[in-house]
Amino acid sequence: MPSRAGRCPRWCARNHSADTSGAAFYHASESLSVAVSRPGDPEMPDLLDVQAAQYLPDDPAEPAWPPAIEIAVHAAGRYRLIGLTPSQAREFARALARTADMLTALAPGTGEGQDLAAPARSAG
């Protein structure tokens, strides 16, 4: 379905036919999810959802906002969104990969067991 800005981006996976205004106000890709276990509650893991998203302004005369990478952190029945530019997302991915490589290199053994989920910790 067309958005106020014209057409959906190729990466948009939303069904805009349910939008009551007849025009899309938000584009989103398919989400990729990662379960993160919490100490004391391995049965109810927190989730990290990652997707591309683009919000359109309320005023159709304004240009669309630039697409962003959204990370939704779902924890204890609540969620928080973190928006990153493509450049910031790549930098974050490099930081995650370097840290994972560092832990794998320092850990004893074959490295196969090191990809098991570690308990999440609160930064608070």
* Domain residue ranges of the chain, discontinuous segments joined by +: 16-107
Report the pLDDT averaged over residues 85-95. 96
Average pLDDT, the chain: 79
The rounded distance, in Å, linking the Cα atoms of 2 and 65 is 16
Given pLDDT bands bounded at 50, 70 and 90, which one contains residue 42? low
The pLDDT of residue 50 is 96
CA 38 to chain centre: 19
Residue position matching structure tokens 């893991």: 45
DSSP for residue 20? T
Q: Of 67, 99, 119, 81, nearest to 107 (Cα)?
A: 99
Top pLDDT among 118 and 31 is at 31
User: What is the pLDDT confidence band of residue 96, given thresholds at 50, 70 and 90?
Assistant: very high
